[in-house]
């Protein structure tokens, strides 16, 4: 793995914002005193007059974003996932989603891979919160390349978008010519024994699981599900029919995230075993990000174990 290039998805966000800023003039960027960390600093340096710092007041920031969008302009607003989706939840619901406004909420530092800051800053509930909101689109990119591409798609999208980025540098999965489409899962590896549907940093781990399983004679299908809402039901149903067993993998609570979305869909239309890998109804804690991913069982080897469990359940 020594030659693997690693980059945080938040860096993809910063780079993407800069490119969008060069291309389009009709949007502004808001942050809540975290520009260095969220990487909106990259945009701020290039376009200081188009960047507004709202200070440590996330609820106000989200409502301001809604007001800007209500005047027909586009707007990105950033904070950590905990504060963008958690603290400002009701503002996202009532000011952004209820009027279905074009606000992109770009949340960084999602999941336990925040690391040393610990549980108060490790949001593993944001997807669940955002999924419950009518009309919300949720994108959780796998790598910095996808993050950058998804950003332009979010900019073009009509309606609110929640984007989830990480702090930790993770392997680059996609080539530069990768083309991102909202609502479309991507099959990364073919296989018909079992399907792993992964999102965010778990996608690179799923590719490790693919190799582990292959060595054991198991052909796993690997799907990258960057858009969690609306779910690509077509690719999920096809996987259920063709492989008969599914594992979901996410750096998020198993309550309300990707695993829930896949289970909810399949249980009504084509029930097959769905084994969920994620954070099991617990808080995070301080520690180095990679140690935490080991401790919480969010690794390729853990996905491979779940894949075998799913296979065992297969009729």
Partner 1 sequence: MDAVTKKELQRAANDVRIGIIEGVHSAKAGHPGGSLSCADILTYLYFKEMNIDPKDPKKSDRDRLVLSKGHAAPALYSVLANRGYFDVKELNTLRKIDSRLQGHPDMKHIPGVDMSSGSLGQGISAAVGMALSAKHFGDNYRVFTILGDGECEEGQVWEAAMFAANKGLSNLTAFVDFNNLQIDGTCDEVNSPSPIDKKFEAFGWDVLVIDGHDFDAIEDALDKAKASDKPFCIIAKTVKGKGVSYMENNVGWHGKAPGDEEYEIAIKDLAAIAESLK
How many residues touch partner 1 under the rule CB under 8 A: the total is 27
In the complex, least distance from residue 69 CB atom to partner 1, rounded to whole angstroms: 8
Report the residue from 50, 241, 282, 301 that binds partner 1 according to the rule CB under 8 A: 50
The set of residues, in sequence order, having a beta carbon less than 8 Å from that of 104 and lying 6+ positions away, is 74, 75, 76, 77, 151, 154, 155, 160, 161, 163
Active site residue 58: yes
In the complex, least distance from residue 163 CB atom to partner 1, rounded to whole angstroms: 20
Report the residue from 47, 52, 178, 265 that binds partner 1 according to the rule CB under 8 A: 52
In the complex, least distance from residue 119 CB atom to partner 1, rounded to whole angstroms: 24
> Half-sphere exposure (CA, 13 Å, Cβ side) for 295?
14
Nearer to partner 1 among residue 55 and residue 271 (C-beta): 55
66 makes contact with partner 1 (CB under 8 A) = yes
Nearer to partner 1 among residue 68 and residue 201 (C-beta): 68
Cβ proximity of 113 and 164 under 8 Å: no
Q: By CB under 8 A, what part of segment 75-114 binds partner 1? A: 90-91, 94-95, 98-100
Q: Report the distance separating Cα 174 and Cα 178, nearest Å.
A: 6
Report the residue from 59, 219, 285, 290 that binds partner 1 according to the rule CB under 8 A: 59
Burial classification of residue 204, based on how many CB atoms lie within 10 Å of its CB (0-12 exposed, 13-18 middle, 19 or more buried): buried
73 makes contact with partner 1 (CB under 8 A) = yes
In the complex, least distance from residue 54 CB atom to partner 1, rounded to whole angstroms: 6
Report the residue from 46, 47, 60, 264 that binds partner 1 according to the rule CB under 8 A: 60
Q: Is the dihedral of CA 210, 214, 218, 219 positive or negative?
A: positive
Report the residue from 35, 54, 173, 246 that binds partner 1 according to the rule CB under 8 A: 54
In the complex, least distance from residue 288 CB atom to partner 1, rounded to whole angstroms: 35
Q: Report the distance separating Cα 255 and Cα 278, nearest Å.
A: 9
24 makes contact with partner 1 (CB under 8 A) = no
Q: How far apart are the first and last CA of the chain?
A: 36
In this structure, the chain runs to a length of: 315
271 makes contact with partner 1 (CB under 8 A) = no
**Exactly one of 49, 58, 187, 234 is catalytic; which is it?**
58
Nearer to partner 1 among residue 53 and residue 187 (C-beta): 53
Nearer to partner 1 among residue 104 and residue 142 (C-beta): 104
Provide the strand spans (E) within the chain: 6-7, 27-31, 51-53, 74-80, 103-108, 137-139, 161-164, 170-171, 186-189, 194-198, 220-224, 227-229, 246-253, 274-279
Cβ proximity of 252 and 127 under 8 Å: yes
Q: Is the dihedral of CA 170, 171, 176, 181 positive or negative?
A: negative
In the complex, least distance from residue 77 CB atom to partner 1, rounded to whole angstroms: 10
- 45: alpha, beta or left, given left = phi > 0 and alpha = psi -120 to 50? alpha
218 makes contact with partner 1 (CB under 8 A) = no
Active-site residues, by number, are 58
Binding stretches for partner 1 (CB under 8 A): 26, 28, 50, 52, 54-55, 57, 59-60, 63-73, 90-91, 94-95, 98-100
């Amino acid at each position: 793995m020594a030659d693997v290039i690693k980059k945080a998805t938040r860096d993809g966000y910063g780079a993407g914002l800069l490119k969008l800023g060069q291309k389009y003039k009709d949007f502004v960027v808001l942050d809540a005193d975290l520009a260095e960390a969220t990487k909106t600093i990259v945009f701020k340096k290039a376009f200081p007059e188009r960047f507004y710092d709202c200070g440590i007041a996330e609820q106000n920031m989200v409502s301001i974003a809604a007001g800007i969008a209500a005047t027909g302009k586009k707007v990105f607003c950033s904070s950590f996932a905990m504060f963008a989706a958690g603290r400002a939840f009701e503002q996202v619901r009532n000011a952004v989603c209820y009027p279905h406004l074009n606000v992109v909420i770009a949340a960084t530092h999602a999941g336990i891979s925040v690391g040393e800051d610990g549980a108060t800053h490790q949001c593993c509930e944001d997807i669940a919160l955002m999924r419950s909101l009518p009309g919300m689109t949720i994108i959780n990119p796998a790598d910095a390349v996808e993050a950058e591409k998804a950003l332009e798609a979010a900019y073009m999208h009509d309606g609110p978008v929640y984007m989830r980025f990480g702090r930790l540098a993770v392997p680059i999965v996609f080539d530069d010519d990768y083309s991102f489409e909202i609502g479309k899962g991507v099959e990364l590896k073919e296989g018909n024994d079992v399907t792993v549907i992964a999102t965010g940093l778990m996608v690179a781990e799923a590719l490790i699981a693919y190799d582990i399983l292959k060595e054991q004679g198991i052909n796993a299908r690997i799907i990258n599900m960057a858009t969690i809402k609306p779910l690509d039901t077509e690719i999920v149903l096809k996987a259920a029919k063709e492989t008969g067993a599914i594992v979901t993998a996410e750096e998020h609570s198993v309550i309300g995230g990707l695993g829930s979305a896949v289970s909810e869909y399949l249980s009504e239309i084509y029930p097959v075993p769905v084994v969920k890998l994620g954070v099991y109804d617990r808080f995070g804690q301080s520690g180095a990000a990679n140690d935490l991913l080991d401790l919480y069982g969010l690794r390729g080897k853990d996905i491979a174990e779940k894949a075998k469990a799913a296979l065992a359940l297969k009729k």
